[in-house]
Structures are given as C-alpha cells and as structure tokens.
Amino acid sequence: MSEPTRIDYQLPQVEQLLQREFLQPFIAALSRPLVTELVREELAAIRQLPAFRELGVAAIPLDERLSARCQHHLRQRQTRVINATGTVIHTNLGRSPLHPALWDEVRELNTSYNNLELSLNQGKRGERKGLIARLLGCLTGAEESLVVNNNAAAVLLMLQTLAAGREVIVSRGEQIQIGGGFRIPDILALSGAKLVEVGTTNITTAEDYLNAITEQTALVLMVHRSNFAIRGFTESPDIHELARALPPHVLLAVDQGSGLTTETFTDEEPSVRHYLKAGAHLVCYSGDKLLGGPQAGMVSGRADLIARLEKHPMMRAFRPSRIVYSLLERMLIHKLNRDPRGEGIAQRTVCNAEAMQEHASALLRALPGRLRQVPAQLVVGGGTLPDQFYPALALEIIDPRPAQQLHDALRALPVPVIATVRQQSVLLNMATLLPGDLPLLTSQLTRLLAGTTAEVQP
C-alpha cells in the first residue's frame, strides 16, 4: 500500500523572498521596509486560503500574488498622469499644473539654503512672506496680504481671529459645502463664531443683512458660490451698497475662493480686486485655482486686520513652506509682467484652442482608423465657474473592448491616462493635454491598441 502524498506547507522565509529578482524594482520604488511588510501580509493571507490548507504551497502562485500586492501599493504612490478629461483644474489630479519654467526657476532656491526668515537688509530675523504681500497688493489693490496653506485655512483663521464668540451673518444661499465635507456652518462652529442665517436660498437682500445686525455682530461673510449656480428668480445685494450701509463695528469679509485676478477668459466671475474696491474689508481666495499657482490660501485687505490675523497663534500652524512661497513669489512677478510663465493653467488652456486641434490631428495621423474626432466641452473645474462651458474636441477610441474595460486599461498604463466614458464610448478630451503629453500618449495608445482590431462604425 502506497504512502499518502505529503503536502508541503513550508512557505519561503521573508528574507529569502526579498532576495528574489522580481521584487527588486518594488524595493527601489517603495522601500525595503514597506515591501517587507507587504510580503509578510501576503504570506499571512496565503495561510488562510482554503487552497493552501488543502494542497499546500503547490497550489499557490506565490510570485504572482506578491507582485500583485506590491503593484497595488505602487499605484498609490504619487505619479504623473495624463489628463484627458476636459476638466482643466481637476482636484483629483492635483488642480493646477505649474508652468515648467516656473518650477525650474525655484529649483536652486529650494535645494540650497535661502533667506526664508532672514532680512538681508538688516541682518536680523525677517518676515517669512518676503515680497508676496507687496506683489499681491499690486495685483489686487489690497493694503496688505498674508498666505496660508489653503483657502479653508484662510477662512478659519479669519473667523477665529475676528469673530470668535461673536455673530457672523451668512446668507442661506451661501452656506455651501465644497469637496471633502468642508461646510461653511461647520467651519463657523469650529472657529467659535455664532452663525446668523439671513435671507432664503435664492434671495437675500441688503436689508436682510442690516436687519440681522446686533451689538454682538462681528462681521458679514459673503461666500462666493464657486461650485454651483442658482438661476431664475434670484437676488443678491450689491456689495458696494451693503459695505456703505454697515455700521463701523461690523466687518465685511468675502470668501471669493476661485482666485480670479487678471484672467481674461470669463466676465462672470468677480475678481479679488472687484470685491476690495467695492468695500470688502477682507477677501480670501485660493492660489491653485484660477490664479494658477501652488496650493495656498490668501487673505487680502485692510492692513490692520491682516496684522491681527498674522499675530494669531494658529498662523504658525497654517503657514506654508518655502517651496510654496518661492513658487508663488515668482509666479506673481511674471503675472504682473504679463509674462506667459505667470499665466495659470486655465488661462493657458481656454485661450489656446489651436493646441486642441494640433493634438487631435497628430493622434489621428499616428493611429489611423482607431480614433474618431467628436465635439466636446471644456470646463475649468476645481470649484470654479460651475456653469460655464467652452467648446472643445475629443477623440473617441475605436476598440472592440467594453468601454469600462478600455477605460480601466488606460488608467493602468505606466503613465495613467485619465479619460471619460460617454454613451458607452471612451473619449480623450484634447483640451487638457499638456505640451509634453502628446508623444507619451501616442506611444502608449499604440501599444494598448496593437493587439485589438478596430471596429469602425459608419
């Protein structure tokens, strides 16, 4: 009688696995400690598999499973992607890509020591913001400005400093929520201010604000509806009229959000300068939206109020790094000089329709019969200009695979291509391709479509 087959349950040791050739690229990309953790996690998961318990090591494709686990984590690493969505300031894709020349300008400054908090004129400790406040003054007309991590921090700092324990009046139609669950009522509660609601969703008048003012009122907060629009029977007060009517103890603050300053592609969005000129005491706005710079939040307005904000203990927690300051400073200088390096990605995209057709024509020549040109739209995105659309064009990929499968395959490319699906077709919007994207996109599409046969529809 033959002996029963002995089942091998002996998995390789972790250190032995880490020496295998296929794991070396993952170690270089993820670090040896992290890959070690992933190997241990996978071995623990394998031991729980019914196939392993029944058949042992022979039933487990160990190398494949380890590769898949490492690859899953590799896809979570920060990586370049190609934006073919038609949304220019795409929050999921990092918002505003900086002008490449701008990045090059600050490379040496950020890889060496610099005078971040040193006054070279006096040889003493100086202010971190350097020239930025003066530059923002030239751009917006503000007496003074400060910079923090983002616009949410700017709003919170302003409310904590100027309205903690007091009343803040906000229209019911402006109690917005932006991405990530940031809600105006919540940020007011966090700041210690008391929310006083006025008006209705669609109509708020100057009288609504004025009638709600008490001795405990610290400020009126007007919030720009940057990520949605209300149309039809609506009314909002003229900000100049409201500013003139407010009593001396009540401040007027505006959360402008989008950061529009000198951009020319829209006439519906009020600029930071517009609000300040109309009488707002403070205006908060983003650095990485229409302005086109790094992630930052700015507060511009009356010098004495900015000074109070700068002295608040939370200012130290909210202040940005030297990388942000250096990029923002260089960008503002170029913007004021009307140099293309100072233009945000939205300005560069919306005002350059010729580039869309050039990209489309090049791809159509490179992949004949595999792409079809179709009309599309361009949106600025990023919580700005919610109902403004600009003409664009897209290329429909002609491929027998189901649209979602093809969409997933594009996202799994070495440099992921983020496309859209419309009516069971995968579309590559040409508006949001950057100048350096075209050669890479062409080569990746060529390889992706090489193994399939086109099904050209009339």
* Nearest partner of 319 among 154, 86, 95, 149, judged by Cα: 149
What does pLDDT average to over the chain?
92
pLDDT over 90 at 267, yes or no: no
Domain membership flag for residue 135: yes
Q: Higher-confidence residue: 83 or 241? A: 83
Residue 314 sits in the same domain as residue 375: no
Residue count of the chain: 458
Residue where one domain finishes, among candidates 74, 109, 124: 74
* Nearest partner of 297 among 177, 156, 168, 176, judged by Cα: 156
pLDDT over 50 at 105, yes or no: yes
pLDDT of residue 420: 97
Kindly report the number of other CB atoms within 10 A of residue 29's CB atom: 13
209 φψ region: left (φ > 0), alpha (ψ -120 to 50), beta (else): alpha
Domain membership flag for residue 42: yes
What is the helix (H) or strand (E) element at residue 417, kind and residue range? Answer: strand 417-418
pLDDT over 50 at 204, yes or no: yes
pLDDT over 90 at 363, yes or no: yes
Report pLDDT digits (tens) over 19-56. Answer: 999 999 999 999 999 999 999 999 999 999 999 999 99
Residue 270 sits in the same domain as residue 210: yes
pLDDT of residue 1: 46
Residue 171 sits in the same domain as residue 265: yes
The answer to whether 437 and 454 are in contact (CB under 8 A) is no
Angle at 169 between CA 168 and CA 173, to 5 degrees: 130
pLDDT over 90 at 78, yes or no: yes
Report pLDDT digits (tens) over 434-457. Answer: 989 999 999 999 999 986 655 433
pLDDT (mean) for 107-123: 94
Kindly report the number of other CB atoms within 10 A of residue 70's CB atom: 22
Domain membership flag for residue 224: yes
Domain total of the chain: 3
Residue where one domain finishes, among candidates 327, 343, 359: 343
- CATH number reported for the structural domain that contains residue 154 in this entry: 3.40.640.10
Percent of the chain beyond pLDDT 90? Answer: 80
- For residue 103, give Cα distances in angstroms to 72, 91, 150, 205, 342: 30, 20, 20, 45, 11
Whole-structure pTM value: 0.90
Domain membership flag for residue 5: no
Cα separation of 23 and 38, whole Å? 11
Kindly report the number of other CB atoms within 10 A of residue 257's CB atom: 28
Residue where one domain finishes, among candidates 315, 343, 371: 343
- CATH number reported for the structural domain that contains residue 419 in this entry: 3.90.1150.110
Sign of CA dihedral 67, 72, 77, 78: positive
pLDDT of residue 3: 56
Residue 21 sits in the same domain as residue 88: no
Residue 104 sits in the same domain as residue 175: yes
Q: Which domain holds residue 163?
A: 100-343
Cα separation of 29 and 424, whole Å? 36
pLDDT over 90 at 159, yes or no: yes
Residue 300 sits in the same domain as residue 418: no
pLDDT over 70 at 14, yes or no: yes
Residue 56 sits in the same domain as residue 153: no
Residue 333 sits in the same domain as residue 366: no
Domain membership flag for residue 6: no
Domain membership flag for residue 3: no
Report pLDDT digits (tens) over 364-415. Answer: 999 999 999 999 999 998 888 877 899 999 999 999 999 999 999 999 999 9
* Nearest partner of 317 among 153, 180, 188, judged by Cα: 153
Domain membership flag for residue 379: yes
Residue 31 sits in the same domain as residue 119: no
pLDDT over 70 at 458, yes or no: no
Residue 177 sits in the same domain as residue 303: yes
The answer to whether 354 and 391 are in contact (CB under 8 A) is no
Residue 179 sits in the same domain as residue 58: no
Domain membership flag for residue 380: yes
Residue 204 sits in the same domain as residue 337: yes
